[in-house]
Amino acid sequence: MAVKLTSLEVMGDAPVIPVIVLTEVAHAVPLARALVEGGIRMLEVTLRTPVALACIEAMAREVPEAVVGAGTVRSAADAQAAAMAGARFAVSPGYTQSVGKACHDLELPLLPGVATGSEIMAAQEDGYTALKFFPALQAGGVAMLKAWQGPFGDVKFCPTGGITGGNAGDFLRLPNVVCVGGSWLTPPEVVARGDWAHITQLARQAAAVHRHG
């Protein structure tokens, strides 16, 4: 039986959680292996394509050293389907009580998406203090996270949305940021041509990004 994780453990495992969009199940397992080889174990597979759940299932079954999660979880049904497929954590673009309760009942660690103070407070009321800041760049970026340090000093964030290898370090230097989420580790054209060595190289670079002390 897989060890149960907390949301903070999911965020703290590596500096970057790759945000993965897959259109072919055949790519799932070699991609997961390439990322793990590069030192990235927490893999967020977004529920944005018809094959996403099948990809989660294949990764969870074939790559046990990976910790596969589901992204773009927008309903209790999404959370249930993700858990059934073998997901060990969930990430949502926003926050609702029904998604929060579903993940709590399923014992599925959730990184709820927030972009405003009110959303942070709603998530906190339901016991969530490790949150995804989304869409990070469009919602205020580094300046917004700095502003939140005062009123929400007990909250930890994973900024996602507009994060790249070039600006990840700016976010990771903030004391309230544990990791970032980004799609730059899995460029669609690299995945399409099956260049797994390149994916491993990107993962290694991401795993080595310096976090605040």
Identify whether the C-beta of residue 210 lies closer than 8 Å to the C-beta of residue 42: no
So which residues are the catalytic ones? 44, 132
Q: What is the DSSP string of 81-129?
A: HHHHHT-SEEE-SS--HHHHHHHHHTT--EE-EE-SHHHHHHHHHTT--
Identify whether the C-beta of residue 47 lies closer than 8 Å to the C-beta of residue 73: yes
Task: Name the E strands within 125-204.
Answer: 130-133, 156-159, 180-182
